[in-house]
Structure 1
């Protein structure tokens, strides 16, 4: 990430300062553009070579290892479940406002990639696995049915008295089994819905992080395999071969339903009132005045030209 940012900035600086080769106008574009990149490429290569030589000369390590050493306090902090709880809280809050959790990936991905590699090595050597913050565990537990454990709301919608919510619940059910919760996020909606802020953030943060605490406490085996996304329940089991993963998912599902239910009932009452008003307006618009034959003849004989 740092390499990409630095290379682009050096390229921009060279272009602004015209540190390129300018060929005559008669030279074809594809030829002149090829020559323009030669000095810029040499400058970028020289900068990175200088960084490498300086790092080896002064710190006796290559730049990637130096960066890893500088970031080691951050990496070590993610072995603390309370740090992960705070991070998951931040993810849920920004997700509620429509910002995808992928914005955290440049920070989190290198950390949990290191952790899963160390878990795999420990498992292969028959040693104790120590890390719980790993990609498969995050997907299977924090991402259970999607960020915010939104299956709780999907189930509430399926059993709703409102026709609208019942349809949304049915449409959202099968995608939620594979962690795709956009139908319920934008269909209910959850995103930017003040009523859903507390259940979405609280469920996603506390219920989503609970199994990670259980791994940290030794109640669930840590992950040593990151499976492809195969759906709820099975994914968690495949990460570690521990049936407690399925139990943890069941606990999450029950807690999510209990948390979402009272907040959903507030939305449902509002929706039922609106549905009743729409039906009443529709019925009143469909009413027609019916006259008897004598009344119709009388109206035909009257001059009603106003």
Structure 2
């Protein structure tokens, strides 16, 4: 315990406050509402899948709902919403991350966002469009097309959605570091007379740094592609995204994330924020991939992004079990007072009143179930999802969504996941009850 308090907690706090990680975390927070809007749109267009042949097999509801959203145009509206939100995640992240990076370095947020987006779009691979028709020998397996017959079109959509998020993050960090530092160099500033409107004067102030940053970054990306034969998206996917995903989507990762989150909480640090600064850039693209698979009626590829919600029923520490157990068995008036105040926010995953008011922080009795409960749930949830016994998480929902409803929505209408969540609540009550009774006995003494 002394080692954790003196060594681990300060180290974790430093990692969680690292400015690049903080900027990434805050950027994801900004675009979270848009992510949820896109998830809602996907859910509305695909919720009838619950009643498909491979679901509840109530085809009258399935066909009726499908015909309704198609005939009324609701499907088209939701598709357009999705196209502008989830399918633009990389672009949105570049803009918000550029702004957050500038905040951390006391730079021009709008200008940094614009320069970052310019570099990103400038380096994004173009769609390759073939001629209308080609002929080749019968039974030919490989067809060679001369490069002269290929015309560059618009930017590939796959580079603007979750597939481009890692490139967007890394590229924006580099652009921001260079552009903001150049912007603070007085020798590169163009100062206009006082009578010039502020917006115009501000543009000229960063004109030279913007020109230098864009040319430098785009040139570097272009020559990397010429030398390596791979664009930045291919390089990042091959050497960063793929290795991270292979490690991230494992049982060990799910358990480690849960354990670290809650061990930090019991020492008074906001574990979700500190650990989320590292995990959010990894898990969010994986969740968006799941959303795309759900929308296209394909198998959900990733497990870990859907685990966390099932381990935090009532908030960090899965304290919904503590709420119920205390209402049933606690006889300590001080605890019952805190619990009564905490019931309403606890149902919406807000449990700071319990963590700091009961308290759980540095409480030797309640620390153990606070950590063990989520870890056990992370193990069972991962295994059940991995073996497809319950549905996998595929949609982003507001974090304040109450249990049971959250399990149903995050899985795109998964009844098995909802039932499992109800079983999880029973488990949590049984887990917390002995510790509530122990607390009663200690306080009675």
| Structure-2-length-normalised TM-score | 0.54
Question: Which blocks of at least 5 consecutive residues in structure 2 are unaligned?
Answer: 1-168
For residue 235 of structure 1, the aligned residue among 388, 392, 406 is 406
1:112 corresponding residue in structure 2: 283
Query: How do 1:1-306 and structure 2 match up within 5 A?
Result: 1-14=169-182, 17-21=185-189, 23=191, 30=198, 33-71=202-240, 72-97=242-267, 98-135=269-306, 137-139=307-309, 141-158=310-327, 159-228=329-398, 229-238=400-409, 239-273=411-445
Q: Deviations over 1:83-118 (max 9, x none)?
A: 211222112222333224133335433433333344
2:105 corresponding residue in structure 1: none
| Structure-1-length-normalised TM-score | 0.76
1:281 corresponding residue in structure 2: none
User: How far off its partner does 1:49 sit?
Assistant: 0.9
User: How far off its partner does 1:127 sit?
Assistant: 3.8
The worse-fitting range, judged by mean Cα deviation, of 203-212 and 180-189 is 203-212
CA distance in 2, matches of 1:225, 1:75: 18
Q: Deviations over 1:13-50 (max 9, x none)?
A: 32565442364887779466543311221222123212
Based on CA coordinates, which of the two structures has the bigger radius of gyration?
A: 1
Question: Which blocks of at least 5 consecutive residues in structure 1 are unaligned?
Answer: 274-306
The worse-fitting range, judged by mean Cα deviation, of 18-27 and 252-261 is 18-27
CA distance in 2, matches of 1:150, 1:116: 25
SS at match of 2:432: helix
Q: RMSD of the alignment, in Å?
A: 2.8
CA distance in 1, matches of 2:346, 2:379: 18
Aligned residue pairs total 271
CA distance in 1, matches of 2:351, 2:226: 51
Tell me, yes or no, if the aligned pair for 1:153 and 1:260 is still in contact at 8 Å. Answer: yes
User: How far off its partner does 1:196 sit?
Assistant: 2.5
